[in-house]
Structure 1
């Protein structure tokens, strides 16, 4: 049953990631990967929120591991950094890395604090 919960969450998380990352978030002309940045930042916040609420095992499997694990993407983030570096956009790559890592940690923390308060 646990694997089914993760699979269902993963399916919907992947669909949401595709829609948000490719359709909802506008493309930035500078080459900044705004779609991936947005899904990773919002996913960090939501996972922090879920963790702070001390969700049930079922909810954690469905939403935390399944949906949010599929919604966020560490591998695409890394490939986009490699592309920026290959295109000689080291400043953009550094900005992307710093804003993603620190922004993700900060928003996960904020989500966790809010979750604990609820």
Structure 2
């Protein structure tokens, strides 16, 4: 059996492409008028996935492909920030607070759930 390994940047890039495509699919599926629900979903789900990989002890090439690449591109801190600022600028204070708390608490709870399930 011949073993080979792809260069790290290629692994991250391939995983990133898959994660970005999956995030786009979520955004297309979960379009909610007036609320950025898809951002909340990808950040919570991505936090669970990355934590599950970490707690399962995934390392090396698999961590680069799935953790850094796929989970890194699937989740989005920048969109989360822009969403919150946009809601504040539109004086939608409750929605902004819910979105900020939902992303932060949801991600934390997702990590805790991954620890219970995998750890």
TM over 0.5: yes
The aligned runs of 1:1-118 (5 Å cut-off) are 1-21=7-27, 23-25=28-30, 27-29=31-33, 31-116=34-119
Q: Which segments of structure 1 move beyond 3 Å, counting only runs of 4 or more?
A: none
Count of paired positions: 113
Aligned CA RMSD, in angstroms, stands at: 1.0
Query: Is the 1:53–1:112 Cα contact (8 Å) retained in structure 2?
Result: no
Task: Give the TM-score of the pair, scaled to structure 1.
Answer: 0.91
Greater Cα offset, 104-113 or 83-92: 104-113
- The structure number with the bigger radius of gyration is 2
Where does the alignment leave 5 or more consecutive residues of structure 1 unmatched?
none
Counterparts of 1:52 and 1:115 in 2: how far apart (Å)?
6
Where does the alignment leave 5 or more consecutive residues of structure 2 unmatched?
1-6
Q: CA deviation at 1:56?
A: 2.5
Query: Is the 1:52–1:114 Cα contact (8 Å) retained in structure 2?
Result: no
Q: CA deviation at 1:65?
A: 0.3
Counterparts of 1:112 and 1:43 in 2: how far apart (Å)?
14
Task: Give the TM-score of the pair, scaled to structure 2.
Answer: 0.90
